[in-house]
Amino acid sequence: QVQLVESGGGLVPPGGSLRLSCAASGNIFSINTMGWYRQASGKQRELVATVGRDGSTNYADSVKDRFTISRDNAKNTVYLQMNSLKPEDTAVYYCNVQGRSYTMRRQEVWGQGTQVTVSS
């Protein structure tokens, strides 16, 4: 049983900043890729950013130069620093973790989601 606990969402005016955190705990041996996805109301879920265990990153074009994903491997935690937020960033943000169990089986776990609302 792996748990992902997300935090950091909220209401922010355009141009503001937020930092999302997602901590993984429980029955997991190792974590490979950690990432953030988002789903706006009435739209499909989309990838925001991912970070590998070596620190390599990948971003959606819509958030490049504004968002920064990072991870703390010692804490099994992934972060998403969001700057220069725009109304179109409004969505529920979901943490995603891919790794292996203690029996070396692949695991994929989703967080519960945290609401980010960018509005004046």
pLDDT in tens, 61-109: 999 999 999 999 999 999 999 999 999 999 999 999 999 988 999 999 9
Please classify residue 26 by burial: count the beta carbons closer than 10 Å to its beta carbon, then call 0-12 exposed, 13-18 middle and 19+ buried: exposed
Q: What mean pLDDT do residues 29-56 have?
A: 95
- Give 29's pLDDT tier (boundaries 50, 70, 90): confident
**Rounded CA separation 77/57 (Å):** 15
**Rounded CA separation 13/4 (Å):** 27
Average pLDDT, the chain: 95
What does the pLDDT read at residue 26? 87
Q: Which range (25-29, 41-45, 59-63, 116-120) has the least confidence?
A: 25-29
Q: Mention every residue, 6+ apart, whose C-beta is less than 8 A from residue 86.
A: 14, 118
**Rounded CA separation 83/110 (Å):** 24
- Cβ pair 79, 36 in contact under 8 A: no
What does the pLDDT read at residue 81? 98
